[in-house]
Chain A
Amino acid sequence: MPDVQTLVNEFLNQLKKRKIEGSQATAKQTAELLRSVISQQRVPHTNQTTALINAVRAVGEQLIAANPVELAVGNIVRRVLHIIREEDLSLATAAMAGLGVSAASDDEDDVERGENSVLSAAVVAAAARSTLRPPSLQTLLEDTSESAAAPHTSSSGGESDGRSRSVEKGSKSRKLKHDVLEAVNELIQDISTCYEQIAEQAVEHIHHNEVILTLGSSNTVLEFLYAAKEKQRSFKVFVAEGAPRYQGHLLAKELAARGLQTTIITDSAVFAMISRVNMVIVGAHAVMANGGVIAPVGLNMVALAAQRHAVPFVVLAGSHKLCPLYPHNPEVLLNELRSPSELLDFGEFSDCMDSASGTGSLHVVNPTFDYVPPKLVSLFITDTGGHNPSYVYRLIADYYSADDLVVKRRPTTGS
């Protein structure tokens, strides 16, 4: 599949060169890429699942390596893996139902046991949870009925379909791939519509004559606020400019253009203004498994200010930003240091960096992200509704299966 490879390379390049900005765009492109990977992947007759999974992993590994900071990539890869597993699971159960053969297969392939235990545990959890799962993009809603059977058989998915192939081989192999593609399409759909879904909830959160504070620029926030305005809510917005990239200016411009009452303040003025603010609404770069947030630099300060004045600190995040990793996880590079030239003009200071004649004493550090600990976050608003930080891990359990946490095929490194 050479053409896929070129696609992959192209995408890798863009990631490496930091050409793609914003986790939503990244997520979407990743999903699309993986979709084409899957569709190109020729499924062998024996256990296609593993075939697909390996294919996706292979690509995913490269993608993640290309830009480890952009967590959305990893998230999507894991999501897709998860989808594959679940599709396979659903088929398996379906097949099982058809065959009515109980699985004598448990004694075989002890190789997988180690991860199976984890897996099955996860799935049990999933099954247990499935009832109180909020209605959402879940592709498996229909199977949850017999999810009781799920853990048992899923352990030996490979075998089961290997056996069941005898019955309905051709159709099934095509079916798995087909279903997976279906699901991935849905995923893409969800990613691209997450704005609207989040924005829909705006009305419930923003009320008349409130003062909203945000920092930097985030499309999600923009849409959110705009939606509120559409619903005839009248409120003020303070925009902290978000040094050093000053994307707040753009946001403010856009908001003002859409007729919201907007005020720009410097980042350093946040603490002064916070007392007049009713709610802080910000976007995020990623939401970690513990409910902590990786967000544009400066937000930690805002969060602290908000806490000090007991102002609710609301984080908007599409579900593709939910990351199954923990901030202490070595996989996670919490930060990206960008070029100092965003802070100051090289020329003006060039003589302070002339290491040759001994004045090379000036260093500039320009981090992109902050880590906001969970206890500072009051509420997450995802496309599946509002959630408490402590609930995040459950969302994650819905979206990811535990044995995909490490995408690398050598699970020694990392966790």
Chain B
Amino acid sequence: MGPPKKSAARVSEDPDELVRVPLQAVLLADSFTTKFRPITLERPKVLLPLVNVPMIDYTLTWLESAGVEEVFVFCCSHSKQVISYLEKSEWFSQPNFTVTTIESQNSVSAGDALRVIYERNVLFVTLKVHGDFVLINGDTVSNMSLTQALIEHKERKKKDSNAVMTMIIKHSKTNPAIHQSRLGTDELFMAIDPNTKQLLYYEDKADHSKGTLHLDKSLLVDNPSLSLHHDKQDCYIDICSPEVLSLFTDNFDYQHLRRHFVKGLLVDDIMGYKIFVHEIHSDYAARIDNFRSYDTVSKDIIHRWTYPLVPDAMNFGNTAMKLERQGMYRASEILQSQSAVVGPFTVIGSGTKIGNHTKISNSVIGEGCKIGSNVVIEGCYIWDNITIEDGCKLQHAIVCNGVIIKSGAVLEPGVVLSFKVVVGPEFVVPPYSKVSLLQQPIEEDSDEELEYADSTSAIGSQVDKSDVEIASEVDKTHFSPVSELGMGGAGHVWSTCEGGHEEEWRHSVAPIPKDKILEAIKTMEDDMELTHDGSFLPLSGELKPNSNDSDDDDHEDSKEDSYYFEKEVEATFLRAVHENIQESHLNLEINSLKLSYNKLTADCAGAVFYAMMKFALDTPHSSADSLLKNVQLVFTKWKQVLTTYLIDIDDQIEIILKFEEMCSESAKEFAPLFTKILHHLYNEDVVNEDAILSWEDEKKDADEADKVFVKQAQKLIQWLKEAPEEDDDE
């Protein structure tokens, strides 16, 4: 990874180049999460209409008005749709604003995306990220002016080249009871140096380490005063220096922008990269992360916080909206019956028909909808070409294009109806249920880490699926006489498995039920009690209660991170094998891993050895002998890599132990070959006799189970024991 980094560094070192290059932006047109399912199975998140305009248009409009000249739109899931949309839209034909799409199917995370961009960077000259660039998601709405932040960023960069990133934050109180912001994101704790505005600590998953917040003491060493913020909101708009890309490429374990990258930089003090924050006050910026924020941001737009990104100003060719009294936005052509009541803060798209005695309030209604009479719509987001028959009742629901709601049906709060779903007459859709024509993907997991994986595996399967196929599925479901959605209904009600109901109320568009908040408040008080009990014990109540638990959690994460370490070494090794990188580079990479995980050489040795054996094992082999062959081949080819970590005898012993462990657990196939391979290792001078001997006497007082292999190797050991005398004889 040496050369590319240099090139990046060069770009940044040359100050006037920083000034010259046009401002660029990397726009990730994929959130790499499953929060917007089932809708995102059929349409990418960035194309979902936000107050009747696709999200990505907000983002692009902002970038354009903020003076960005070149945007790389990184399309992953449903990339075809995104690209074709952009081609249709006017974005490609903007004066001095170029939009380039980068397509990649197999990126499963923001990290991957940036890595891809980095590689393309190296390959093609055409799309090249030279100077600083703005990193933003395609689902961000903002009207802030970048100039100030950019200037600050460049100034810092000049002073110290380690200031690689500037995060945009905004003051916004979080609700202490339910521990989430109005955007439905988890509460966020940040430590910021009040003078330099350097970010010192970032914790958005506040669940673990209950009750208290752990700040590393060393933080206080170099800055005597730091301010700890709970009332800030992360806008997910970052100004990055080119290094960021290379950073992602160097540590290919970085997936999530915040959870891995930011924290990674904050903890690692070897590289000493710094992150700074820029707080915006009067400007607006928010990212749509889940249904809750979809709701909140929509309301903010309607209340014109995002001016000039407001419905009556943001007409993209399509018919203009007009703002009327008390925040009613109406397109020009609307057929509204006299008796219909349209309440405040409502948006109604063009060509929509509204029947008699229908009541609509605090809702957004798209274009070409047919709404019958005596319908009640409250706080809903109704997209385009939707038919709502008479007497329906909709509360706080999201209804996607082409949905048909038969007469008298009821949508309870928090319902999400994906595309073309049909709800049968008089049918009541239970609260928080998500309905789609597509079957629910089987593998679901609330676990954050796995989320990338399953999201893409499922989306990936969708990506290549053409609309035709989807349509065919639609038909399949259509003609089921009675479906889960009542007579003539079409669609599957998804079971809410991730986090169950508990999570649903947090992230849906429906307002949070009162009882939930009550519970929350109770629990909050209990927390307080709890911390008090902590205080009852005698001297120095400060640390006693926590110190012990902190220890064990350190312990376990050290455990798991050694696990990750091995995994990565293995991955690296395999990559090296397949792209046959030469040993020296492989060593470099492993070293860097070693640093980042701060491991001993012994660990590396073990890990490398493990990787090699694993490789040997995986390469197809008919019999034990051929397996042995594989092993020998591998070792002849990659010995160097291993031996560089065999500095002293302990490393070698480590290897042997590792091997033993493998034989007994992960790779039993080796068990019979133990002695042979050990001997081979000996011949290859991977391990010398002292190592083997000391391993043996280490095992002396182990219990029988452990001694199996020692016994096996007995002969070899014997021979080794005798060997010296022979030497003496000559």
Cβ of A106 < 8 Å from any Cβ of B?
no
- Contact flag A356-B171 (CB < 8 Å), given A19-B65, A337-B304, A338-B304: no
Q: Is A333 an interface residue (CB 8 A)?
A: yes
**B466 neighbours in A (Cβ, 8 Å):** none
B95 touches A9 (CB 8 A): yes
Contact in complex: A17, B320 (CB < 8 Å): no
> Chain A contacts of B322 at CB under 8 A?
333
Judge whether A363 is part of the interface by a CB distance below 8 angstroms: yes
Cα–Cα, bound, A6→B175 (Å): 48
Within the complex, which residue of B65, B173, B514 is in contact with A351, where a contact is CB–CB below 8 Å?
B173
Residues of B within 8 Å of A146, CB to CB, are none
Complex interface bits, A337-360 against B, C-beta within 8 A gives 1, otherwise 0: 111111001111011011111101
Answer whether residue B720 sits at the interface, using C-beta atoms and an 8 A cutoff: no
> Which residues B555-601 have CB closer than 8 A to chain A?
none
Asked whether A65 is an interface residue with its Cβ less than 8 Å from the other chain, the reply is yes
Tell whether A186 is near chain B: CB-to-CB under 8 Å. no
In the bound complex, residues from chain A placing their C-beta under 8 Å from that of B305 are: 339-341, 346
Complex CA gap A6/B94 in Å reads 9
Asked if B282 is at the interface of the complex by the 8 Å CB criterion, the answer is: yes
Give the chain A neighbours of B323 by CB distance below 8 A: 333, 337
The answer on a CB contact under 8 Å between A357 and B306 is no
Q: For residue A272, which residues in chain B have a CB less than 8 angstroms away from its CB?
A: none
B315 partner residues in chain A, CB cutoff 8 A: 16, 65
> Closest residue to B320 on the A side, CB-wise?
A65
Q: Which residues of A contact B170 (CB under 8 A)?
A: 346-347
A residues 332-391 in Cβ contact with B at 8 Å: 333, 337-342, 345-348, 350-351, 353-358, 360, 363-364, 366
CB-CB under 8 A from B307, the residues of chain A are 18, 337-339
Q: Within the complex, what minimum Cβ distance (angstroms) separates B381 from chain A?
A: 13
Q: Would you call B370 an interface residue if the criterion is a C-beta within 8 Å of the partner chain's C-beta atoms?
A: no
Given known pairs A348-B171, A350-B182, A363-B303, the reply for A356 and B281 (CB within 8 Å) is: no
Interface residue? B308 (CB, 8 A): yes
Query: Once bound together, how far apart are the Cα atoms of A342 and B143, in whole Å?
Result: 13
Q: Does B371 contact A (CB under 8 A)?
A: no
**B283: Cβ under 8 A from any A Cβ:** yes
A358 proximity list for chain B (CB < 8 A): 511-512, 514, 517
Residues of B within 8 A of A333 (CB): 322-323
| Residue A168 is within 8 A (CB to CB) of chain B in the complex | no
Q: Which of A17, A68, A342, A347 is the one whose CB lies under 8 Å from B172?
A: A347
CA distance A355 to B181 in the complex (A): 11
One of B101-109, B292-300, B537-545, B633-641 at the interface: B292-300
CB distance from A282 to the nearest CB of B (A): 25
- In the complex formed, the residue of B with least CB distance to A342 is B282
B143: A residues at CB distance < 8 A: 339
Q: Does B284 contact A (CB under 8 A)?
A: yes
Contact B514 A6 (CB under 8 A): no
B150 interface residue (CB < 8 Å to A): no
Q: Contacts of A337 on B, CB cut-off 8 Å?
A: 304, 307, 323
Residues of B in contact, count (CB < 8 Å): 45
Check B284–A356 contact: CB distance below 8 A. Answer: no
**How far, in angstroms, from A337 to B308 measured CA to CA in the complex?**
10
Interface size class of A (residues with CB under 8 A): 35 or more
Instruction: List the A side residues contacting B314 at CB < 8 Å.
Output: 16
Task: A344 to B606: give the CA distance in the assembly, Å.
Answer: 61
CB distance from A20 to the nearest CB of B (A): 12
Main SS of chain B's interface residues? loop
8 Å CB interface, A6-60 against B: 6, 9-10, 13, 16-19
In contact, B172 and A10 (Cβ under 8 angstroms): no
Q: How far is the CA of A366 from the CA of B172 in the complex (A)?
A: 21
A278 to B231, CA, bound (A): 51
The digit string for B289-333, where 1 denotes a CB below 8 A from any CB of A, is 000100110011001111110000111000010110001000010
Query: Residue B184 at the A interface, CB < 8 A?
Result: yes
In the complex the two chains form, is A347's CB within 8 Å of B281's CB? yes
- Considering only CB atoms, which chain A residue lies closest to B379 in the complex? A355
* B178 in contact (CB, < 8 A): yes
Expressed in whole angstroms, the Cα–Cα distance for A6 and B178 within the complex equals 51
Q: How far is the CB of A37 from chain B (nearest CB, A)?
A: 17
| Interchain CB contact (< 8 A) of B511 among A18, A348, A355 | A355
Query: Are A17 and B512 closer than 8 Å at their CB atoms?
Result: no
**Cβ contact within 8 Å between A339 and B284:** yes
Whether a CB of chain B sits under 8 angstroms from the CB of A166 is no
Q: Please tell me if the beta carbons of B178 and A17 are within 8 angstroms of each other in the complex.
A: no
B298 to chain A: closest residue by CB: A355
| A357 close to B171 (CB less than 8 A) | no
What's the least CB distance linking A19 to chain B, in Å? 7
Q: B509 — nearest CB in chain A belongs to which residue?
A: A356
Chain B residues with CB under 8 Å of A363's CB are 303, 327, 345
A338 to chain B, nearest CB (A): 5
Cα distance, A354 to B174, chains bound together (Å): 9
Q: Are B172 and A350 in contact (CB under 8 A)?
A: yes
Q: A17-B65, A345-B281 are in contact. Are A350 and B173 (CB under 8 A)?
A: yes
The 8 A CB mask of B160-187 against A (1 = contact, 0 = none) is: 0000000000111101011000101000
A136 interface residue (CB < 8 Å to B)? no
Q: How long is the Cα–Cα vector from A363 to B281 in the complex, in angstroms?
A: 18
Q: A347-B231, A355-B511 are in contact. Are A364 and B303 (CB under 8 A)?
A: yes
* Interchain CA distance A333-B308 in the complex, whole Å: 16
Q: Of B296, B303, B517, which contacts A340 at CB under 8 A?
A: B303
Q: What residues of chain B lie closer than 8 Å to A68, measured between beta carbons?
A: 320
Q: How far is the CA of A346 from the CA of B320 in the complex (A)?
A: 28
> In the docked arrangement, what's the CA distance between A366 and B94, Å?
31
B292 close to A356 (CB less than 8 A): yes
> Given A65-B320, A333-B322, A347-B231, does the pair A354, B175 have CB atoms closer than 8 Å?
yes
Measured between beta carbons, the chain A residues less than 8 angstroms from B284 are 339, 341, 346
Shortest CB-to-CB span from A391 to chain B, Å, is 32
**Nearest CB to that of B178 among chain A residues?**
A357
Interface residues of B (CB under 8 A from A): 61, 65, 93-95, 143, 170-173, 175, 177-178, 182, 184, 231, 233, 281-284, 292, 295-296, 299-300, 303-308, 313-315, 320, 322-323, 327, 332, 345, 511-512, 514, 517
A-B contact pairs, 6 of them (CB 8 A): A18-B313, A68-B320, A340-B305, A346-B172, A346-B281, A356-B511
- List of 10 A-B pairs having minimum Cβ-Cβ separation, nearest first: A347-B171, A339-B307, A354-B182, A350-B172, A341-B282, A351-B173, A18-B308, A357-B512, A350-B173, A17-B65
Which residues of A approach B to under 8 Å, CB–CB?
6, 9-10, 13, 16-19, 65, 67-68, 333, 337-342, 345-348, 350-351, 353-358, 360, 363-364, 366, 413
Besides A342-B282, A346-B170, 20 other CB < 8 A contacts?
A10-B95, A68-B320, A337-B304, A337-B323, A339-B143, A339-B304, A339-B307, A340-B303, A346-B172, A347-B170, A347-B231, A348-B171, A350-B172, A354-B175, A355-B511, A356-B512, A357-B177, A358-B517, A363-B327, A364-B303
